[in-house]
Each structure stands twice: as C-alpha cells, then as structure tokens.
Structure 1
C-alpha cells in the first residue's frame, strides 16, 4: 500500500478572500508527505440544467467529474448561508451527481467550516452530510472542525492565526487519510 493520497477540495465560498478557501490552504500546508490536496474551481459552473445531462454536460463539469473520480478522497470547507450550504456548492454537487459513473460514489470525505457566526457553520455541515448520503459518500465523524468567529481567527492576509483551529485541521486531514486507507487500501497506489 502506498502512503500517497490524492484529495480534492471544494470551497463552498466563491469569495476571493474566503475564510473557507483559506482553511483549505491551511490543510494543504499541513498535509503530511505523500498527501496532495487540490482546490477545485466551482465558480465557473453554469446553473444545473437537466437538459444538459450526460454527453451534453459542459466541459467544466466533465473536467470536474474527472478530477473527483481520480481522487482518493474529498475535503469540503463551507460557510453557512441561511442555515444551509451555499448555492454554488450545491450546484456543483448537483452537476456531479448526474455524471456516469457517479464520481462521489464510495469516496471518503471530510468537512470543515469557517463562519463569522458563533455556530461556525455547523448547520451547513449537517445539511452537507444529508445531501451526500444519497451519493454514497463516507464522512469522517471526528474531529468536527467548525471555525466560529472566523474574522477574528484569520489575519488580513488570510492566514489562520488560531493554533487550536490549525490543530483541528491537521487532525481532520489525518483522520481523512486514515479513513481513505481503511476503505480503499489496495486502490491507493499513485506514484
């Protein structure tokens, strides 16, 4: 079994200075040797339209599906909009859920969230888990990473200064890698 693990990451925020994108960058920095995390771009996807399913899907959707299929695991970092996940993230999931073969099926995943609120995006995390159940995604249960008061924990350059949050992100990535190797030990052989 190789120790190499390819993780694709979705930021639920399309904002340039997103705390959630910054949290993914922290995960990239903290990833152990042999673990690669790629931040995917979902900001250019058109709104989901069933008339464009299958062979008619936009090229951006097909490329995204290929990257998810090739990955060993998925990392989500999402803010909470109106007690749920942002529309851009849900749109990307809707597009990918319609692709054949289903790119999310059987994948291990982890969720973290950053929010200026006191809840840290907890409700969005729980909704995301509900959404992904039907797509056969297997989530890390612990640790739960919810960065509340994010505007006070990230500096002006988007660096996470809060050591407790950094530690939790590191533990989450370790848990995701462990789950990945538990679910698919013989399939992780990238060189």
Structure 2
C-alpha cells in the first residue's frame, strides 16, 4: 500500500506557534505519511477578487485538500472563536468548485493559553466545517491548555495525557483515511 497523504492546516501564521508545534506532533504520530503543511497566507476573501478568478494560492490549497487522504486542522482561539486565518481559508476554499471537503476525514486540534485549551475555537471550527460535509472526527478532543508547559525544547509534547489523546485521535484518523 502506498503512503497516505496527510495535510496539515494551521490557523496560526507564526512559525514558532504552539499550534504549529501541535500540528507537527500530530503528523509525527500519524506517520508513516506524506505530510504537507498548507500555506494559509491567502488574500482576504473578496467577491470582487473572486470575480477575477480563484487566486492561485487558494486553488493550491483546494487541490491539497482534495488529494489528501486525511486532514489535521490545528488552530488557536482568538476572541472565543476560530482564528480569522482559518475562517478566511474556509471561505475561500468554499468558493472553489468541486466540494473538496466532502467525506474527507478531518481531525481538529487546538492549543491556547486559556485553561480550556481552545475549546471554543474547536466548537466554532466544527460549526464552520458542517456545510462542507467533511467527516470530522468527534474525538477524542485534543485541547492543549498552557502550551508553554506542555512542549519540550524540541517541540514535542511531554505529558502523558495529551500524548495518549493525540495518539488515539491520529489512530482514528488513520483508520478513517484507509476506509
């Protein structure tokens, strides 16, 4: 069997963000897979821009989603919701013909400084994904609170419970991707 294709979508653009570290941990645990880190540096959605044609970077993201066997979406919580970066990406991809999310296995993760670890960002992300009819896994929920204490210097999770939950979630994602 050829290697699975895993797409990582991180809702934080900062190179050293906790969410990027969490996405890379998920990819490491999901392995073996051909992993792609999606570029979310997209223009803000604008109907006038869309009328000129789908921007190349948006089409690239839609193509990556379509060809992935599974997707991991990781995002911070900004003002009690998913980040604007993630929402903008979802809005743009929804304008690309072909329904690239349909039945796609998706795992949602979050890391946030608050005590709930991004619980509201996950709730709003699940709500935002609903119209696309993706196969969003219901759990286990992986929410990393106080991420500055959860990762070591190499960017690896160091506490047993989040590692256990992430391992279970990535195992479920792998099963969903091979069905």
TM-score interval w.r.t. the shorter chain?
over 0.9
Unaligned runs of 5+ in 2: none
Pairing of 1:109-148 with structure 2 (within 5 A):
109-148=106-145
Report if aligned partners of 2:6, 2:27 keep a CA contact under 8 Å in 1: no
TM-score, with length taken from structure 1: 0.87
Q: Name the structure 1 match of 2:157.
A: 160
Q: Name the structure 1 match of 2:10.
A: 11
Match of 1:37 among 35, 38, 57: 35
Q: Name the structure 2 match of 1:58.
A: 55
Report if aligned partners of 1:53, 1:99 keep a CA contact under 8 Å in 2: no
Q: Name the structure 2 match of 1:27.
A: 26
Tell me, in whole angstroms, the C-alpha distance in 1 between the residues paired with 2:47 and 2:101.
Answer: 18
Tell me, in whole angstroms, the C-alpha distance in 2 between the residues paired with 1:162 and 1:3.
Answer: 32
1:177 aligns with 2:159: no
Question: What is the total number of aligned residue pairs between the two structures?
Answer: 179
CA-atom RMSD in angstroms: 1.7
Q: Which moved more, 1:79-88 or 1:99-108?
A: 99-108
Shift of 1:19: 0.6
Tell me, in whole angstroms, the C-alpha distance in 2 between the residues paired with 1:59 and 1:27.
Answer: 28
Shift of 1:167: 2.2
Unaligned runs of 5+ in 1: 183-191
The DSSP-based 3-state class of the residue aligned with 2:132 is: coil
